[in-house]
Structure 1
């Protein structure tokens, strides 16, 4: 699948349609910036010595960081550029494996649901299923994201 897409409006999307993101290597800077932005300085994420003796043997990304990286990779596909009105939440999100510094992640997105809304005539609901994996194919996040996509004018 190609990694570059054009913006998609509600009418351009079909249930079952798939998109693949580019890859992205998670860095030490990502960990520090996320901790600074959120205020989450939990030692499991920020203390090398402490975390090496912990359950994962290394520092791991905060769960919300995994979600944020996945939404950023969705943005990088280009399909939401100037066509999304709002992110509405998720029905579910599972984080079966943690992300470590130096892992390269990418996402696969599939349109899982699409429906018109009686309350809006300018946008429709689109539910996007997401699977985030690392460079070895290990699943890091599974879930869905609900968006309002603009209708074509």
Structure 2
């Protein structure tokens, strides 16, 4: 299975096309950097002793951090390199299970829509459905990501 892909222009995307990311282990450094960048120091994510007595029994990743990890996987695959003009949002996003420290996660992606835009001659819409799992194949993130992608011309 290929984990690094050539840049794709709008014309290169087809509905049903799939991509797979490499794996990545989430570390305490990731938790600290996310907290520092966002200013979210909620104890569920940053206080080991507090989190041990809470619902998950340990620190878990911030929900927005989980989303950020998913977007990072999309870009790391390389198929949007220098062809993406904008991330346009999502129709849905679910975080059915937490990402925990030392989890190894990866992302599966499928193109679910390509659409010409009458308002843009230089680009089109590509919607990619994503599913992120951990080392136990537990789904920790799902959502579709909408991108504005350059045309070749």
Same fold (TM over 0.5): yes
RMSD: 0.4
Are 1:84 and 2:76 matched, yes or no?
A: no
Deviation at 1:4, TM superposition (A): 1.1
Residue number in structure 2 paired with 1:102: 102
The DSSP-based 3-state class of the residue aligned with 1:61 is coil
Residue number in structure 1 paired with 2:16: 16
Hey, what's the Cα distance between the residues in 2 that align with 1:40 and 1:77? 28
Deviation at 1:35, TM superposition (A): 0.2
Residue number in structure 1 paired with 2:46: 46
Residue number in structure 1 paired with 2:66: 66
The DSSP-based 3-state class of the residue aligned with 2:37 is helix
Residue number in structure 1 paired with 2:113: 113
Q: How many residues align?
A: 153
Residue number in structure 1 paired with 2:29: 29
Hey, what's the Cα distance between the residues in 2 that align with 1:93 and 1:34? 19
Deviation at 1:6, TM superposition (A): 0.3
Find runs of 4+ consecutive structure 1 residues off by over 2 angstroms: none
Report Cα offsets for 1:17-60 as digits up to 9, x if no partner: 00000000000000000000000000000000000010000000
